[in-house]
């Protein structure tokens, strides 16, 4: 499983691309990522360990929705992880390979590589400045829900962020990043950004002032749309996947203040100069200069001291997409997330989550995702966890008339063998999608049985 995979409802995000995955499969991912592991080797004040996952997956629609064909997928995923903490420069690194074998469709057999590297300079250790540098390379082969077909990708990304104090209350901020995504038949996508900022702490009785300049760029090239993708995206088959060629300059000033406990509020106003290719919109407008406003709340909105059995988080903002897609002139929209989890009784936990986000599809359209998920977790003894979830996600594709409504439910079981480096899990997920695109209107069943060995 790619190390850059992040779950959102019944979807996954892999370096900017969105893939539909069974919601219950996240149980196995959480078991793997959340387990405590102990390295089999130590060097340079760090710890090296091997994590090997073997699984069998039944997928009722293995190649998307082109055919109603199921398959059994056998997977082996050995991964080496290195971690070094409690030093002036912390480091994490991983490298692995994912072997997938399809019993009835061997033409889909793959072996995908994933690797990552992160250096972190924590504050208050050694030099006065702090920051982080990261780089990753990932290969993936999965069904993209944007076009409802298998897409093979090769991704490289890197980022750098530095905080350089210049006084008791002042800090310079430097940031940058670059990503290169090869999307197979859908061409390539490249993006970069750089920023300079200045932070003045306690500018006005506990309020921090931050000003920032950011320059971004995005471009795509090549790639054609297949017949099934054309039906999903409402564009001519064989047409070039609408290409992007954008650059922008943004200036932003923001005020940040702690409201109470760990809840922080911020107000930001900025102006963006966006340049784009004439072919990106039907109006052939090449310049889109506009002001932006953002208001956000970040942190637990229910204090732990007054609600000891509740954990909560909240982030809300009003903003436009960093990289607008083809024919996207919709402007700003509300995005963010909120979650509440409740310890109903000692072994039972209920969690509710709501989220709204903007993303760019593999065919360079803007998509807005709105989702809600409810999850119940039950501990049975010390070594068994049961999990059940239901969810809903709405996806609107700007620039087309397509809207997807996905309903999902899942069950999962995790068993950690006492005093042994083994963890076993079994999950089932069901998804019912209703869409304006015929290729995306379907039912989907996934069953996964997996074993994880930590050495």
Written as six digits, the tokens of 345 are 């009784």
Query: How far apart (Å, rounded) are the C-alpha atoms in residues 225 and 363?
Result: 8
Please report where in the chains the tokens 């370096």 appear, as a residue: 15
Q: How high is the pLDDT of residue 447?
A: 97
| CATH number of the structural domain spanning residue 97 | 2.40.170
The pLDDT tens digits for 147-166 are 888 889 999 999 999 999 99
- Residues 391-412 have pLDDT tens digits of 999 999 987 888 999 999 999 9
Run of H or E residues at 28: helix 25-34
Query: How far is 183 from 288, CA to CA, in rounded Å?
Result: 28
Whole-angstrom Cα distance, residue 453 to residue 25? 18
Strand 11-14, strand 130-144: pairing: unpaired
pTM of the predicted model as reported, rounded to 2 decimal places: 0.79
User: Largest Cα–Cα distance in the chain?
Assistant: 67
pLDDT recorded at residue 230:
52
What is the SS3 string spanning 239-297? CECCCCEEEEEEEEEEEEEEEECCEEEEEEEEEEEEEECHHHCCCCCCEEEEEEEEEEE
Element (H, E) at 348: strand 348-360
Please tell me what DSSP assigns to residue 423: E
Quote the number of domains for the chain. 1
Does residue 313 carry a pLDDT above 70?
yes
| Pairwise pLDDT comparison (452 vs 32), residue with the higher score | 452
Higher pLDDT, 228 or 218: 218
Q: What is the CA radius of gyration of the chain?
A: 23
Average pLDDT value for residue range 57-86: 88
pLDDT band at 239 (very low <50, low <70, confident <90, very high): very low
Give 48 or 56, the one with higher predicted confidence: 56
pLDDT of residue 175: 97
- The string of DSSP codes covering 372-414 is EEEEEEEEETTTEEEEEEEEEEEEEETTSS-EEEEEEEEEEEE
How far is residue 444's CA from residue 433's CA, in Å, rounded to a whole number? Answer: 8
Distance CA 81, CA 195 (A): 31
Residue 19: pLDDT over 60: no
Domain region containing 222 = 5-454
CA distance 257 to 263: 9
Burial class (CB in 10 A: 0-12, 13-18, 19+), 88: exposed
């Amino acid at each position: 499983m790619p190390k850059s995979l992040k779950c959102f409802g019944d979807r996954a995000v892999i370096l900017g691309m969105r893939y539909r995955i069974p919601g219950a499969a996240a149980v196995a991912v959480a078991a793997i990522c959340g387990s405590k592991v102990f390295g089999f080797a130590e060097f340079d004040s760090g710890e090296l360990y091997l994590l090997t996952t073997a699984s069998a997956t039944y997928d009722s629609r293995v190649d998307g929705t082109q055919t109603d064909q199921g398959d059994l997928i056998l997977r082996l995923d050995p991964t080496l992880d290195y971690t070094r903490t409690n030093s002036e420069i912390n480091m994490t690194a991983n490298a692995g390979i994912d072997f997938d074998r399809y019993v009835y469709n061997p033409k889909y057999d793959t072996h995908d590589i994933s690797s990552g590297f992160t250096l972190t300079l924590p504050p208050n250790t050694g030099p006065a400045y702090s920051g982080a540098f990261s780089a990753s390379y990932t290969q993936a082969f999965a069904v993209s829900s944007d076009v409802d077909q298998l897409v093979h990708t090769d991704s490289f990304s890197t980022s750098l962020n530095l905080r350089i104090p210049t006084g008791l209350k002042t800090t310079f901020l430097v940031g940058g990043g670059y990503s290169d995504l090869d999307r197979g038949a859908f061409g390539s996508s490249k993006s970069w950004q750089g920023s300079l900022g200045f932070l003045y702490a306690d500018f006005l009785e506990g309020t921090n002032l931050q000003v920032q300049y950011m320059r971004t760029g995005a471009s795509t090239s090549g790639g054609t749309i297949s017949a099934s993708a054309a039906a999903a995206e409402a564009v001519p088959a064989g047409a070039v996947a609408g290409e992007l060629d954008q650059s922008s300059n943004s200036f932003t000033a923001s005020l940040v203040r702690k409201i109470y406990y760990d809840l922080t509020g911020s107000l930001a106003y900025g102006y963006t100069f966006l340049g784009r290719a004439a072919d990106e919109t039907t109006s052939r407008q090449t310049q889109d200069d506009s002001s932006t406003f953002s208001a956000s709340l970040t942190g637990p909105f229910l204090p732990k001291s007054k609600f000891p059995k509740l954990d909560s988080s909240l982030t809300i903002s009003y903003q436009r997409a960093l990289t607008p897609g083809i024919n996207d002139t919709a402007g700003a929209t509300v995005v963010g997330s909120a979650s509440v989890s409740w310890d109903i009784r000692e072994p039972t936990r209920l969690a509710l989550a709501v989220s709204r986000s903007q993303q760019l599809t593999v065919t360079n359209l803007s998509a807005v995702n709105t989702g809600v998920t409810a999850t119940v977790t039950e501990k049975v003894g010390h070594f068994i966890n049961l999990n059940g979830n239901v969810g809903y996600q709405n996806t609107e594709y700007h620039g087309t008339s397509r809207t997807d409504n996905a309903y999902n439910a899942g069950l999962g079981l995790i068993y950690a063998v006492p005093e042994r480096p083994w963890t076993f899990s079994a999950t089932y997920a069901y998804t019912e999608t209703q869409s304006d695109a015929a290729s995306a209107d379907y039912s989907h069943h996934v069953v996964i049985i997996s074993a994880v060995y930590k050495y």
